[in-house]
């Protein structure tokens, strides 16, 4: 510790003495973290701490150290008695002893200079330094707290990884280390031992911390490695990665001993506020943490002590570090003078065509028809761009006609393949369509292209569309009733909400209410707005064409409203906010058959209509609200309605009730202890009713061959959310900081021991199972975030279950008695229960009786228990990557952010 204090004093004195930066840099410098030393032996000793081999072992307790002198001081702590005074450590040697590299003492002249009859001259650092004592607790923390914590991933990352990790850590703590060292020095010089942590406190601190510090040099799994990694390899089973000090503080009671480390990132946020031309995110700072205790229990039995008071500066530093975290959403403040085109000041695309190899489109999406773009339409696009953004945006080259055609074709084909399709391809005409809609289609098509130049250009055009359509509404208010104008709004809102960029996401969610209000004021949610339009066999071609176009306009409005309803529900679930559209508002008629919707012309539309029409069926008399209340009615209509769209909308409709239940649960969290057990029992009854409704709807979907994977996926997510509070899970993981995480800890522990937790885990595993069967490139946007929520739920449960094994002195991965309900029997290892499997008997035994070891299967069909936290997150990362197997140029921005976040959680996991 004194060495580090001396280094800080040397640096401050160098500034006061007016030394140039070149003179300071001329000292011995660490090539890994850029620390500087005056002596080569100090640098050599410092480099050993990077290796973190801890080869010097204490014969008494087995604790390892990187330096022999630290081991000697540690052993002295074993031999010391309470009656012995604290031995003061020399704060600063004299100049002669420094040059001779020998020990010095506090008295002047020192014994060595006196024996040699030479001048004992004070060093410059001593004149302003303070004496610092060394206590057993302080020396034990020296290799971690004083030298900095060095992560195992650096062994595989090389010097570059070190320089990024520790360079960022030094910046985060710059300017506060001197104060902290001064506080420690005052404690030591007063002859007071540093406070220690009681065994009961250490039991709580062990949660999210590993068993010991063995195999710390094991490299962490990156995104690409996770794809084909064998999670049952010996290296992975024994590896141990330091978990952030943040979580130790969560598990400690108030006033616990804390260290100055940055809090982890906001795990609820998966966006970035970085220039879109920069995709190289550095999270190495976030992986700093504490080295695990060397024993299974992590502390010596009977070791007690009092925790010190947390300095105010400690809290301030944690808050500041959390606010500056690149993943922090709650504390994000936009930069001053940032605007729509900050970081994206030009449109310069050199690509002329989009090849199939560069597309991130679904294999089932086929090009129904080709849309030609004439030069006048391209000129109109350029005119809109220059009108809106001429002050901030330059255009060295605007996309060619061929590229514009390809992007519109990609969007139309992808939209036609989506369940929530709302663009009628048969009547869509690029020559008569709104220019803003054409630009929005280009931006939407760019989302499905992996070329960086193209998808970045799409984000620029999305901003142009956002501003342009606002000008349209301002200049002519009647356009709020035009279908194409509202379709344009939907496209730029959807692109922004799932862009993976902070600013775009916030603005999109802020403007989501505007088109909903426009639709509401135009009575678009009412059945009275819609007419019954049916073709007749005696219609002339002109009459049939007019009917078809009128029907397409009306059907497009219905489908747009349903698309808004589903989109609103999805962003509400993703961001855990209230939805804007209530299911009770959905009084529109049921959407017509998908085959009728995709009919290329009027004659095909009429033929399909008479092919699916049932004699006694009248689908126009039923509304979506009627269907939400009684899902069976859809069976009476045959193929006259779009079953897949109706079922997906119904899944999101019941999701509103799940959200209301979760909000009510937060209100009632303390009521059962305050004489209001009647309210709590009614609340539990509501949970059972919702569970029955969701299960019934799930069974209905499974029995229909036309049911979509998206509907089953959404139902599993609702069933999981019904039994776990995702807000608590994210708060516990660091969303709102250390203090809030500590407050939610009792609820997390209570939930972990409940049958509801096991039910939530079962549905989380089923989310993984359905996600594996998703069509390629479709596991994005809402569905990718849902996979992350499921992985985080299993991750938190695994850490709590692993800690139960630590506190009992057992290996939680081998003995799963901690998974039993409270008071359950304890016994030998039991049967493995794959939560993402199809063995209903084993899943019911685990859910209802707590029998079996819960886990999921990796890519090689090997069973991985939930207590293997690192493997769980790595499997989730691989799941996202595998849905884009041929993506040479990377993943979509939001999916890439989620994969990076899962990778970081994998590296920071407490137990593998």
- Contact status, residue 763 vs residue 713, Cβ threshold 8 Å: no
Torsion of CA 110, 111, 112, 118, to 10 degrees: 60
- The gap from C-alpha 811 to its chain's centroid, in whole angstroms, comes to 29
Q: Residue 301's pLDDT is what? A: 34
d(CA 326, CA 815) in angstroms, rounded, equals 38
- Contact status, residue 756 vs residue 850, Cβ threshold 8 Å: no
d(CA 876, CA 790) in angstroms, rounded, equals 9
DSSP string, 863-874: EEETT-HHHHHH
**116 by DSSP, 3-state: which?**
helix
- Sketch the domain layout of the chain as residue ranges: 344-522, 668-907
Q: What is the mean pLDDT of each run of 10 residues along the chain (912 residues)?
A: 44 45 58 79 77 76 78 75 57 82 83 86 60 39 37 36 36 40 38 40 35 35 40 38 44 42 52 45 29 32 34 33 41 57 54 54 62 89 86 70 91 92 93 94 91 86 93 94 97 94 90 96 95 93 96 97 98 93 96 94 95 87 92 88 95 95 84 66 90 93 86 97 92 77 85 92 96 91 95 90 56 40 46 88 90 90 90 93 78 88 76 40
DSSP string, 635-696: GGGTTSB-HHHHHHHHHHHHHHHHHHHHHHHHHTTTGGGTT-HHHHHHHHHHHHHHHHHHHH
d(CA 30, CA 47) in angstroms, rounded, equals 7
Q: Residue 497's pLDDT is what? A: 94
Q: Residue 170's pLDDT is what? A: 36
Helix axes 154-173, 40-51, angle to 10 degrees: 120
d(CA 336, CA 315) in angstroms, rounded, equals 27
Q: Residue 268's pLDDT is what? A: 57
Give me the residue label for tokens 């007063």.
190
Q: Residue 909's pLDDT is what? A: 64
Q: Residue 342's pLDDT is what? A: 53
Tally of CA atoms within 13 A in the half-sphere of 272 that contains its CB? 20
For the chain, helix, strand, coil in percent to 5 are 55, 5, 40
Cα distance from N-terminal residue to C-terminal residue, the chain: 32
List CB contacts of 137: < 8 A, sequence separation 6 or more: 193, 194, 195, 196
Alpha-helix residue ranges (DSSP H) falling in 257-355 = 312-323
DSSP conformational letter for 850:
-
Q: Is 423 exposed, middle or buried (0-12, 13-18, 19+ CB in 10 A)?
A: buried
Task: Find the helix or strand (DSSP H, E) in which 172 lies.
Answer: helix 154-173
Q: Residue 455's pLDDT is what? A: 86
Q: Residue 47's pLDDT is what? A: 78
- Contact status, residue 898 vs residue 785, Cβ threshold 8 Å: yes
**Residues, the chain:** 912
DSSP string, 172-194: HHTTTHHHHHHHHHHHHHTT-PP
Give me the residue label for tokens 């072992």.
57
- Contact status, residue 239 vs residue 218, Cβ threshold 8 Å: yes
Q: Residue 340's pLDDT is what? A: 55
- Contact status, residue 226 vs residue 163, Cβ threshold 8 Å: no
DSSP conformational letter for 590:
P
Q: Residue 589's pLDDT is what? A: 96
865 bridge partner residues: 855
- Here the tokens at position 877 are 């990362």
List CB contacts of 345: < 8 A, sequence separation 6 or more: 392, 393, 394
């Amino acid at each position: 510790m004194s060495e580090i204090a001396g280094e800080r004093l040397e640096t401050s004195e160098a500034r006061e003495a007016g030394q140039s930066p070149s003179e300071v840099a001329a000292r011995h410098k660490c090539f890994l973290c850029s620390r500087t030393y005056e002596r080569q032996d100090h640098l050599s000793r410092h480099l050993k701490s990077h290796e973190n081999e801890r080869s010097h072992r204490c014969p008494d307790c087995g604790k390892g150290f990187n330096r022999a002198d630290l081991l000697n001081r540690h052993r002295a702590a074993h031999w010391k008695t309470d009656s012995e005074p604290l031995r003061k450590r020399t704060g600063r040697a004299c100049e002669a002893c420094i040059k001779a590299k020998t020990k010095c003492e506090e008295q002047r002249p020192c014994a060595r200079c006196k024996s040699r009859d030479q001048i004992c001259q004070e060093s410059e650092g001593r004149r302003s330094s303070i004496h610092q004592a060394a206590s057993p607790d302080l020396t034990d923390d020296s290799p971690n707290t004083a030298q900095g914590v060095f992560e195992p991933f650096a062994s595989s990352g090389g010097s570059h990884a070190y320089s990024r990790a520790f360079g960022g850590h030094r910046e985060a703590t710059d300017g506060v280390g001197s104060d902290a060292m001064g506080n420690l020095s005052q404690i030591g010089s007063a002859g007071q031992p540093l406070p220690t942590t009681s065994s009961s406190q250490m039991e709580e601190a062990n949660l999210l911390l590993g068993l010991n510090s063995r195999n710390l040099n094991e490299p962490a799994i990156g995104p690409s490695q996770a794809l084909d990694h064998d999670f049952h390899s010996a290296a992975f089973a024994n590896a141990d990665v330091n978990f952030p000090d943040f979580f130790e503080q969560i598990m400690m009671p108030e006033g616990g001993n804390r260290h100055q480390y940055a809090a982890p990132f906001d795990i609820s946020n998966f966006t970035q506020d970085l220039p879109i031309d920069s995709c190289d995110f550095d999270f190495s700072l976030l992986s700093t943490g504490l080295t695990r205790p060397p024993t299974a229990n992590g502390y010596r039995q009977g070791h007690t002590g009092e925790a010190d008071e947390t300095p105010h500066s400690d809290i301030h530093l944690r808050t500041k570090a959390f606010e500056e975290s690149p993943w922090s959403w709650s504390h994000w403040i936009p930069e001053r003078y940032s605007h729509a085109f900050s970081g994206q000041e030009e449109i310069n695309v050199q690509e002329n065509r989009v090849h199939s190899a560069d597309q991130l489109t679904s294999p089932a999406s086929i090009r129904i028809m080709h849309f030609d773009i004439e030069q006048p339409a391209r000129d109109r696009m350029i005119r809109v761009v220059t009108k809106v953004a001429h002050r901030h945006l330059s255009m060295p080259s605007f996309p060619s006609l061929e590229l514009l055609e390809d992007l519109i074709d990609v969007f139309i084909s992808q939209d036609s393949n989506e369940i929530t399709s709302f663009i009628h391809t048969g009547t869509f005409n690029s020559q008569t369509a709104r220019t803003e809609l054409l630009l929005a289609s280009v931006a939407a098509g760019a989302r499905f292209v992996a070329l960086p130049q193209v998808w970045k250009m799409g984000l620029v055009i999305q901003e142009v569309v956002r501003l342009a359509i606002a000008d349209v509404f301002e200049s002519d208010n009647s356009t709020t009733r035009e279908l194409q104008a509202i379709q344009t709004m939907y496209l730029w809102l959807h692109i922004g909400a799932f862009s993976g960029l902070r600013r775009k996401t916030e603005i999109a969610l802020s403007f989501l209410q505007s088109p909903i209000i426009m639709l509401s004021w135009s009575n678009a949610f009412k059945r009275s707005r819609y007419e019954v339009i049916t073709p007749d066999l005696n219609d002339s071609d002109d009459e049939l064409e007019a009917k078809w176009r009128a029907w397409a306009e009306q059907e497009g409005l219905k489908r747009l409203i349903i698309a808004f309803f589903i989109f609103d529900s999805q962003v509400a679930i993703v961001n855990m906010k209230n939805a804007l559209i209530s299911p009770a508002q959905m009084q529109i008629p049921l959407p017509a058959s998908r085959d009728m919707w995709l009919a290329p012309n009027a004659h095909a539309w009429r033929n399909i209509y008479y092919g699916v029409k049932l004699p006694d069926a009248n689908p126009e008399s039923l509304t979506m609200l009627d269907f939400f209340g009684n899902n069976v009615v859809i069976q009476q209509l045959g193929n006259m309605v779009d079953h897949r769209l109706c079922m997906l909308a119904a899944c999101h409709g019941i999701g509103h009730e799940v959200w209301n239940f979760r909000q009510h649960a937060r209100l009632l969290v303390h009521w059962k202890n305050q004489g209001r057990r009647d309210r709590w029992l009614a609340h539990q009854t509501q949970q059972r009713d919702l569970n029955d409704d969701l299960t019934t709807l799930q069974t209905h979907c499974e029995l229909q061959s036309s049911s979509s994977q998206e509907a089953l996926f959404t139902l599993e997510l609702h069933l999981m959310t019904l039994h776990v509070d995702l807000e608590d899970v994210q708060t516990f993981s660091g969303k709102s900081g250390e203090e809030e995480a500590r407050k939610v800890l009792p609820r997390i522990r209570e939930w972990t021991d409940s049958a509801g937790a096991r039910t939530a885990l079962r549905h989380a595993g089923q989310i993984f199972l359905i996600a594996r069967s998703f069509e390629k490139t479709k596991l994005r946007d809402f569905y990718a975030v849902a996979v992350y929520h499921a992985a985080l739920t299993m991750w938190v449960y695994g850490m709590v279950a692993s800690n139960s094994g630590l506190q009992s002195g057992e290996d939680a991965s081998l003995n799963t008695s901690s998974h039993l309900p409270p008071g359950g029997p304890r016994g030998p290892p039991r049967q493995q229960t794959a939560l993402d499997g199809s063995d209903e008997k084993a899943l019911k035994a685990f859910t209802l009786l707590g029998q079996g070891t819960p886990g999921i299967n990796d890519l090689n069909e090997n069973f991985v228990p939930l207590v293997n936290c690192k493997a769980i997150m790595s499997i989730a990362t691989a799941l996202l990557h595998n849905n884009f197997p041929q993506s040479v140029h990377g993943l979509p921005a939001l999916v890439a952010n989620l994969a990076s976040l899962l990778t970081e959680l994998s590296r920071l996991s407490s137990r593998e």
